Amino acid sequence: MSEPQNLVELFLAQVARLGDRVALRYKRDGRWIEITWREWEREVRRLAHGWLRLGLRPKDAVSIISNNRPEWLSLDLAVQMAGGVLAPIYPTLTAEEAAFINDNAQARFAIAEDPAQLQKLWTGLDEHSRLEKYVLLSGVADDPRVITYEQLLAMGEGGDDARLAERYSAIGPHDPATYIYTSGTTGQPKGAMLTHDNILFVTGTALQIFEVLPTDSVLSYLPLSHAFERIAVFYLALRAGVAISLAESIERMASNLVEAGPSLLVAVPRVLEKVYAGIMDKTANAGRLRRKIFKWALRVGYATSPYRLAQQPLPRALAWRHRLAKRLVYNQIAARLGGHLRFIAVGGAPMSKAIAEFFHALNILVLEGYGMTECAAPATMNLPGAVRFGTVGRPLPGVQVKIAADGEVLVQGRNVFAGYFRMPEATAETLRDGWLHTGDVGEFEPDGMLRITDRKKDLIVTSSGKNIAPQKIENLLVADPLISQAVVIGDERNYLTALIVPAMDAVARFAREQQIDVGDRAPELPRVKELIRGCVNAVNQQLPRFETIKDFRLLPAELSIETGELTPTQKVRRKVVAEKYRDLIEQMYAAKTRPASSADRERSD
């Protein structure tokens, strides 16, 4: 295939090449439905004609507020085919946040998943809104400004293909393909302008360094509103010509994994943390013999891991044990993940090294990468045969990465975005002298592997002047099966503390073993606190004294997107958490002298 100049040309070339092969799968009314490339192209073309009849002009913005569904993918391509630019809005955002994005993108058209999301768009409207027409994906609305998805399709019947070809042929590689609004942990979202060339470069480069087979398939379950899912799953699958299965929801992801059986999976660390906790809890509830077999298989996995990472043959005796462990344990774990996974690509947030090592011990390769919306998702990646857990790998071919004097990671290459839409000051602050200033702090290993230590704005500076990366400590904490989430506190304080969410299933199991009635009061029980204290002390033993957790409080519920404590990509909004739990935090600093942890006491003995 010759290099296309835009994503529409890429899509049409794949249709011509793959024709009646399956492109999309989705589940509706309890059954999986398949769409071929040729069927997909007919729907996209009708939608694009519909946009032209609605009056979409070249480079007009169209916003979409919807969960993942096949119509999302079709509308993305159709808007581009008609010459427009899609501006996704996370479905979890508020009416005010959605209004800001529509206003900043200067959107003339909006797509809403259902009447509830449509109402959200209307709630945020003001007299300056440019929105003229709305497309509703499901449900009905009695308003002349609203048409349904089916009506948009009907409007596209019998459209002029020559006129449509003029539109998409005029799209150059450096024209914007999308405005992706950063979820951000602070401040208003910013619309990163990703060009067709940004996305074509990243997906083309990925296929040079990863072997993707014609029989491969992927499962889409993370929000398509985010660059990681949109590029690393949707556009990469489009470029590779492999089938995309759409999960019903992130809550149904586990069962959809088994049903769809993808060979490639993209995940954020939080997803793997939950899978890890589930495996550990299921094992703890198994019989004594099964627990012993699992622990034995895990030891075998850790012993074989260095050989497998280096792609070296196993010693004969170890190879025999590994084959037996695979039959007894690893295959059962793999079956819960669909049974066909070749590897899991992880990004979007820092990954616990211990959890990546755990999965590899169970014969599942986790490849961690690093990137951000502003560099079209990936900038570095671990690769099969070149994996170092705890790092995010080496720069992609054609991408330069360097470390500034203050430790900030800088990126340069064709993957770097064109700037923030209608935000010249923010663009000038982020793009300087041709380099993307990521806001992340990192360092290179001697062999060129990049290690990310934290976000610059998240670094804790204690009252004694110590610079501490909280995410490193948080990753150590959540690697314990009894801890679900952790937020380290300590900026401008004289010691570190933490807010911890216990893994409730594991706590409940502990309570049953101890014959404790927890009810809804698990975090308040002294024995539960002592249990978590043991976990914290174990982590403290791995840290220098100034990084140890001196006190903690347990939270009664998980931090979530819905409560505003997490971004849509599962990053902690630290300011929101600090404000919400201000009283608990102040309790930990109320004493004139800090409490001594048992780790401190042991070190002073």
pLDDT tens by residue, 162-182? 999 999 999 999 999 999 998
Whether the per-residue pLDDT at 596 is higher than 80: the answer is no
**Helix residue ranges per DSSP H, 388-521:** 424-430, 470-478, 504-513
pLDDT of residue 46: 98
The answer to whether residue 448 is domain-embedded is no
pTM of the model: 0.87
| Confidence at 187, pLDDT banded by 50, 70, 90 | low
Greater pLDDT, 91 or 598: 91
The answer to whether residue 471 is domain-embedded is yes
Closest CA to 258 of 365, 340, 363: 340
Calpha distance 355→493 (Å, rounded): 30
Whether the per-residue pLDDT at 281 is higher than 60: the answer is yes
What is the Cα 36 distance to its own chain's centre?
A: 27
Which percentage of the chain shows pLDDT scores above 70?
A: 94
Greater pLDDT, 116 or 492: 116
Angle formed at CA 474 by CA 473 and CA 479, multiple of 5 degrees: 100
The answer to whether residue 544 is domain-embedded is yes
pLDDT of residue 496: 95
pLDDT of residue 285: 87
Whether the per-residue pLDDT at 527 is higher than 90: the answer is no
pLDDT of residue 502: 92
Q: What is the mean pLDDT of residues 412-434?
A: 96
Greater pLDDT, 80 or 93: 80
pLDDT of residue 481: 87
pLDDT of residue 258: 96
Both tokens of 473, joined, read: 């400590």
Q: What value does the mean pLDDT of the chain take?
A: 92
Calpha distance 514→243 (Å, rounded): 49
Residue 156: how many CA atoms within 13 Å on its side-chain side? 27
pLDDT tens by residue, 454-485? 888 888 988 888 889 898 899 999 999 889 99
Which percentage of the chain shows pLDDT scores above 90?
A: 78
* Residues of the domain holding 547: 459-604
Q: Where is average pLDDT lowest: 81-85, 387-391, 422-426, 560-564?
A: 560-564
| Confidence at 18, pLDDT banded by 50, 70, 90 | very high
Calpha distance 572→559 (Å, rounded): 8
- CATH classification of the domain holding 553: 3.30.300.30
pLDDT of residue 284: 86
The answer to whether residue 598 is domain-embedded is yes
> Dihedral sign, CA of 352, 358, 360, 365?
negative
pLDDT tens by residue, 293-344? 999 999 999 999 999 999 999 999 999 999 999 999 999 999 999 999 999 9
List, in order, residues 6 or more apart from 591 with CB less than 8 Å away.
Answer: none
pLDDT of residue 182: 87
Q: How many domains does one find in the chain?
A: 1
Whether the per-residue pLDDT at 508 is higher than 80: the answer is no
Both tokens of 157, joined, read: 């019947």
pLDDT of residue 521: 52
Q: What is the mean pLDDT of residues 282-295?
A: 93
Q: What is the mean pLDDT of residues 38-51?
A: 98
pLDDT of residue 168: 98
pLDDT of residue 597: 47
Whether the per-residue pLDDT at 598 is higher than 50: the answer is no
The answer to whether residue 264 is domain-embedded is no
The answer to whether residue 400 is domain-embedded is no
Whether the per-residue pLDDT at 14 is higher than 90: the answer is yes
| Confidence at 43, pLDDT banded by 50, 70, 90 | very high
Calpha distance 311→309 (Å, rounded): 5
End-to-end CA, the chain: 69
Greater pLDDT, 254 or 597: 254
Q: Where is average pLDDT lowest: 53-62, 181-190, 419-428?
A: 181-190
- Alpha-carbon dihedral 475, 481, 487, 492, rounded to 10 degrees: -70
> Which CB contacts under 8 angstroms, 24+ apart, belong to 317-326?
325/296, 325/297, 325/300, 325/301, 326/363
Give the 3-state secondary structure of residue 60. Answer: coil
* Backbone phi and psi for residue 407, each to the nearest 5 degrees, phi listed first: 95, -5
**Extended beta strands in 240-312, E state:** 243-246, 264-267
DSSP letter assigned to residue 457: G
Q: What is the mean pLDDT of residues 201-224?
A: 94
